[in-house]
Amino acid sequence: MADTTRRSTGIAGLDLALDGGFAPGTRIVISGSPLSGLELLAQQFWKEGEGAGSYLMLDTAPGENMLDARGMDPAAMAAAMEGKKIIVDSLSTLVAAWGIDTAARFILEDTRPVIEGGANIVYLLYTGIHSPAEEARIMRAADIYISLMQQVHGNEFERVLAVEKFTGSDVPQRVIPYNIMAVGLELSTTSRVV
């Protein structure tokens, strides 16, 4: 039975895998390539249900209702975080601009009051641009770590989502196929029997 205290991710298949969604007061890292759909997953969570909260855009011009966080220092970003669902797009830009020590402190210390207030903070992390040591520090700082992976087989994409860390809960024991649709990500809720 799904935990009713959790916040829906905005994706039914992911809610099912996470026993209802994200627990309030968690740090979530979503990792993947720029074309994996990680921004879509973050936006689906941000727009789902109760008030959206803050979407801090560090990488490009912000969309509707997003905050332009380009050029903000970490203290200003932490001060701009309002609401229960917060997106930092992207943590990769924060690491590049301020370094891994500042980024780790931002995740664990600077945003602590926001987390203790029951908010969820989703950080987007682009794969292939960080050192293994940087990725390890980010993984350790996260409460939930989700990877979006894709491979090309002939003329088809195979996309799978893996929940690699889920503090305080069982980690799902399988990867979940997903598709990128016009409205966002759609996850498979069935398993193959082999």
* List of residues 6+ apart from 125 with CB closer than 8 A: 29, 30, 31, 90, 91, 92, 135, 138
Q: Is the pLDDT of residue 192 over 70?
A: no
Query: Which of helix, strand or coil describes residue 94?
Result: helix
pLDDT, tens only, 175-187: 999 999 998 999 9
List Cβ<8 Å contacts ≥24 apart for 90-93. Answer: 90/58, 90/59, 90/123, 90/124, 90/125, 90/126, 91/29, 91/123, 91/124, 91/125, 91/138, 92/124, 92/125, 92/126, 92/129, 92/130, 93/58, 93/59
List Cβ<8 Å contacts ≥24 apart for 129-132. Answer: 129/92, 129/96, 130/92, 130/95
pLDDT, tens only, 39-50: 999 999 999 876
Q: In the beta sheet, which residues pair with residue 22?
A: 7
- Beta-strand runs (E) in 51-106: 55-57, 67-68, 85-89
pLDDT for 2: 44
Q: What mean pLDDT comes out for the span 113-126? A: 97
User: What's the rounded Cα separation, in Å, for the pair 91 and 102?
Assistant: 11
pLDDT for 77: 97
Q: For residue 101, what are the CA distances in angstroms to 2, 7, 151, 170?
A: 37, 30, 32, 29
DSSP strand pairing (144-153 vs 156-166):
antiparallel
Average pLDDT, the chain: 92
Q: Is the pLDDT of residue 193 over 50?
A: no
**Structure tokens belonging to residue 125:** 């992390």
Write down the domain spans for the chain: 12-187
Q: Is the pLDDT of residue 20 over 50?
A: yes
pLDDT, tens only, 132-158: 999 999 999 999 999 999 998 888 889
C-beta separation of 120 from 24 below 8 A: yes
**What is the 8-class DSSP label of residue 179?**
E
DSSP strand pairing (85-89 vs 55-57):
parallel
pLDDT, tens only, 58-105: 999 999 999 999 999 999 999 999 999 999 999 999 999 999 999 999
Tokens 């929940």 sit at which residue? 163
Asked if the 12-187 domain carries CATH number 1.20.120.790, the reply is no
pLDDT for 194: 45
Q: What percent of the chain has pLDDT over 70?
A: 94
pLDDT for 172: 84
Q: Where does the pLDDT of residue 188 fall: very low under 50, low under 70, confident under 90, or very high at 90 and above?
A: confident
Q: Is the pLDDT of residue 52 over 80?
A: no
